Amino acid sequence: MRAALWLLALFGIAAAVALFAGNNQGTITVFWPPWRVDLSLNLVLLLLVAAFMLLHLALRGLSALFSLPVQARQWRMQQKERALYGALLDALAQMIAGRFSRARKAAQAALIQEKALSALDARLPQAQQVRVLAHLLAAESAQALQDRPARDAHLHEALKESADRNASPAPETREGVQLRAARWALEDRDAPAALARLEELPQGAQRRTLALRLRLKAARLDRRTLEALETARLLAKHRAFSTAAAESIVRGLATELLSSAHDPAQLMSAWGQLESSEREMPEVSIHGAQRMAVLRGDLATARIWLLPAWIRMVEQPQSLTDSLRVKLARALEAGLDSVDAEWLARIELAQRNNPRDPNLQYLAGMACMKRQLWGKAQQLLTQAGNGLQDAGLYRRSWQALATLAEARDDTDQASVAWKRAAQTEAP
């Protein structure tokens, strides 16, 4: 369609020129003494057009001639710029492929190319970011090669370049360098240095998932359990882990926090720093109660901590693993000397509702023994001893039966019970 329109336009122009030139009888006389030259108007117009075109072509030729040095300079700069970006890409590709020596050489080549461009007064708009990335790639390669002096030198240059106020780099450039420096410190097992690098980040950058992951690793490495726990909570809220993984990490850190207490006051303080959802975790509450018993603290408080786990075990017997049920029984056994009537009723009711559970039989039997209910204690402990799978509870149940037999002067039964207790593995 466009070609057809152009063709029609050319025909129209040709027709107009033919009409104008065919009927044009005008002449132009040029007096050049002693000559007189008569020229037709059409010829003069053609000469003017030809002169204009000739002048135009001459000017364009001169302009192209004088621009050759500029074009040559631009071509050289373009080649150097292409070499610069090619070296950067090569450094990245070599580093990903695990060829760290070549990656470092390519990064250094990129720095040389950028310096050459600067010498030609042809600074790139993103020259600072190019230098920072080149230094970062070289430092990453040096870290992989365990060349720490070279790594630190390139890191220092990258930080200096990214902190230059005369340029306007993206803030993410410096933040990326600081995050990589924190990761390198972690690889060197230098947790304080990693945490210091993370503290240098802006407040918003410190809450990014990558920064929080690094902080979690550094805090755990530096034994800062409370800080690690708070970081794990943030990561769980950001959904950085799966639900099961987040729960496992938080549970482990909460348990570690309770283990770091060395007296009942510290244990109470650590317990107060836990969230309600963490306190209701059976593993955490049972460990806290066991720690309270070890530190000879208030066992009534420990039983309060154990109540959610106990209710969960009674209402949903399959929700707790066998090892947790055993730990719960041991934690409650540690405070049977001071247990109140309410807890005794709970234990008795649970055993009555689940009479075949050996752990509940053992716990109820030990409670009866503490209350000097010898006959019932012997019955429950005998049933528990025949069904317990945990070696510790198995041994303790037969030891208790041996003690009861000796109290009745039944030496034969006591001998059998002591023999069973001496067996180190439960049946």
The domain spans of the chain are: 76-164, 358-427
Distance CA 75, CA 415 (A): 102
Quick one: tokens of 42? 């059409």
Spatial contact of 177 and 132, defined as CB atoms under 8 Å apart = yes
pTM confidence score: 0.75
Task: Please tell me whether residue 35 adopts helix, strand or coil conformation.
Answer: strand
- The pLDDT score that the predictor gives to residue 18 is 67
Could you read off the pLDDT of 155-211 as tens digits, one per residue? 898 888 887 655 555 688 888 899 999 999 998 898 999 999 999 888 888 888 889
Query: In 97-190, which residue ranges form alpha helices assigned H by DSSP?
Result: 100-119, 127-144, 148-162, 171-187
55 has a pLDDT exceeding 90: yes
Instruction: Express as a percent the part of the chain with pLDDT over 90.
Output: 21
AA letter at 321: T
**Per-residue DSSP letter, 424:** S
Spatial contact of 114 and 82, defined as CB atoms under 8 Å apart = no
Please tell me which of 3-12, 72-81, 247-256 the model is most confident about, judged by mean pLDDT. 247-256
Domain covering 358-427, topology = 1.25.40
- The pLDDT score that the predictor gives to residue 89 is 92
Q: Give the burial class of 328: count Cβ atoms within 10 A of its Cβ; 0-12 exposed, 13-18 middle, 19 or more buried.
A: buried
Minimal CA–CA distance to 237: which of 203, 275, 283? 275
Backbone torsions φ then ψ of 223, nearest 5 degrees: 65, 30
427 has a pLDDT exceeding 50: no
Spatial contact of 358 and 313, defined as CB atoms under 8 Å apart = no
Average pLDDT of the residues of the chain: 84
Minimal CA–CA distance to 256: which of 215, 293, 308, 219? 219
Q: Which element (helix H / strand E) includes 31? A: strand 27-32
Distance CA 413, CA 406 (A): 8
- The pLDDT score that the predictor gives to residue 239 is 87
